[in-house]
Each structure stands twice: as C-alpha cells, then as structure tokens.
Amino acid sequence: MSIYWETRKEVPRLVFNLQRLRYERLSRKVTEQKMAETLNINRSSYHKKENGNIKISVEEFGKILEVLGIPQTEAGIFFTLSFPEREQTTA
C-alpha cells in the first residue's frame, strides 16, 4: 500500500476576517451602536454582521473603513488567504 497526497483543483480564496474587524473597532473605541448608526441599521443587526450571521456588503465595508479611519489602500488587513486542504488517500 502506498500513500500519496491528492491536490484538489481549488485555488486559494480570500476570506474576510471578522475577528480583525472586531479588534480594529474595539482598539479605536468605536461602539457597535456607532457602527450601526453609520450603516443605518440597528445595533443587533450590526452585531450579527460582525459575528458572521449576516453578510457585510461592499458598500457597508466602505463605510466601516471610513468610521475606523482606515484608508481603502489598507483594506487588505481584513482578508486572509484560505488554502484548500489536501486529502490523504491510499492506493
């Protein structure tokens, strides 16, 4: 029996880092309420967005960057590359 690694044909993908969003908001002492007001939603809805229960739109992300004082050129800090896992198979 030989073991080999099978690589999937998937490519790495960008994943939005919600933990980084929360960290940046807290480090700048911006409340969930302030973020919600900026996005014109209630605090509960913002909380759900920050926790991944509701998606954040591109337009909302732009407003979030403005509130946090982060230039669009530095928006990459919120993204990580996710690589597909390799499967081990036996032959």
SS (H, E, C) 18-76: HHHHHHHHHHCCCCHHHHHHHHCCCHHHHHHHHCCCCCCCHHHHHHHHHHHCCCHHHHH
> Which has more pLDDT, 40 or 6?
40
Instruction: Identify the domain containing residue 63 by its residue range.
Output: 3-90
Per-residue pLDDT tens for 57-82? 999 999 999 999 999 999 999 999 99
Distance CA 37, CA 30 (A): 11
Each residue's pLDDT tens digit, 7-56: 556 788 999 999 999 999 999 999 999 999 999 999 999 999 999 999 99
Tell me how many domains the chain contains.
1
CATH number of the domain residue 80 falls in = 1.10.260.40
Q: Residues 69, 73, 59, 82: is their CA dihedral positive or negative?
A: negative
The model carries a pTM of 0.77
pLDDT score recorded for residue 45:
98
pLDDT at 41: 98
